[in-house]
Amino acid sequence: MSFLDIKNLVIHFKSQMGNVHAVDGVSFGLHEGEILGLAGESGCGKTTSALSIPRLLPDNAMIINGNIFFNDEDLLLKTENEMEHIRWRKIAVVFQGAMNALNPVKTIENQIIEPIFQHEPGISHREAKHRALDLLIQVGIEPSRARNYPHEFSGGMRQRAMIAMSLVCKPKLVIADEPVTALDVMIQAQIMNLLKELVSKFNLSMILISHDLSIIAETCSSVVIMYAGKILEKGSVSSVFSHPAHPYTQALIRAFPDIHKTREFVEGIPGYPPNLIHPPEGCRFFERCKVRLENCQDEEPSMTILESNQQAACHLLNK
């Protein structure tokens, strides 16, 4: 069994129009020291899948089915009190949009040491402060800036502070939800290089959520491609990106500009994802697929194992 193993996860959201089938039968694993990328369009279920691990979903979310094994323990069987001891100490999150995630009326230093006091009540203020300042140095922030407030930091510095906060209790798993959204390209590269260095230095495992395929290609060792609550393809980054098997993965890659080819407009994916209040019976990508078969509309494809343990759910692979 993997360090983290998610099996047949099903999550619905209550709404006035009906239940939204946000995650439908998702299964994947993560090994120690591995960086796994979750990719797909907005609303595909990647963030919902990841935030179900530390059980940080909103009140209208319902986990209908599945298991989340972390170090051989099913987190879905834990009480809220037990999860409070796991969050931040064993599983931490770098939230999307650091300005919204940080408390605007508390200094960066106080926000970083707060999880330490929560999980290590016997620690002295001096020791906690020393650990916080050391982590700020690790992420490239001058210790003299520790008593600044979030609005006094640039976007990149706020993201670095969030990364420091996620590591302060020495977790084994970090979930990074779009950690470089709204940052310029140079700062994005710096943050992603920092994350890779920290994963190696602290022997972390990481789930990186992103819609940017270039970030996943440069950072992750394995990738899960999601669409409309389903996993359509998964495997190593090298195999999935060099030989994409599912038409959706192929379309995502074509929609991303290639600096090594002739300059031309990228090819988008026409149409829209299906309504997940009433999800289609067959392949979720059927309406937008250019190579669909007759049985794609009514028969849901199963996962097919390809070379190098790459897997994809498409009827074309079983012709």
pTM higher than 0.85, yes or no?
Answer: yes
Q: What does the pLDDT look like over 130-157, one tens digit per residue?
A: 999 999 999 999 999 999 999 999 888 9
Q: What does the pLDDT look like over 101-111, one tens digit per residue?
A: 899 999 999 99
Q: In Å, how far are 30, 112, 188, 286 from 203, measured between CA atoms?
A: 14, 20, 22, 41
Q: In Å, how far are 23, 182, 189, 218, 256 from 185, measured between CA atoms?
A: 31, 9, 6, 14, 15
> Is the distance from CB of 146 to CB of 132 less than 8 angstroms?
yes
Predicted confidence (pLDDT) at residue 11 exceeds the cutoff of 90: yes
Which has the higher per-residue pLDDT, 270 or 11?
A: 11
Residue 257 confidence (pLDDT): 75
Which whole number is the average pLDDT over 262-277?
85
Q: What does the pLDDT look like over 285-311, one tens digit per residue?
A: 999 999 999 899 999 999 999 988 899
Predicted confidence (pLDDT) at residue 37 exceeds the cutoff of 70: yes
**3-state DSSP assignment of residue 238:** helix
> Is the distance from CB of 39 to CB of 252 less than 8 angstroms?
yes
Q: What tokens does 82 get?
A: 């037990």
Q: What does the pLDDT look like over 173-232, one tens digit per residue?
A: 999 998 887 778 888 888 888 899 989 988 899 999 998 898 999 999 999 999 999 999
In the β-sheet with 4-13, what is the strand arrangement from edge to edge? 20-30, 4-13, 61-70, 73-74
Residue 96 confidence (pLDDT): 81
* Domain spans of the chain, in order of start: 4-318
Predicted confidence (pLDDT) at residue 1 exceeds the cutoff of 70: no
Residue 53 confidence (pLDDT): 97
Residue 156 confidence (pLDDT): 87
The percentage of the chain sitting over the pLDDT mark of 70, rounded to a whole number, equals 98
Predicted confidence (pLDDT) at residue 171 exceeds the cutoff of 70: yes
Q: Does the 4-318 domain belong in CATH 3.40.50.300? A: yes
Which whole number is the average pLDDT over 62-82?
96
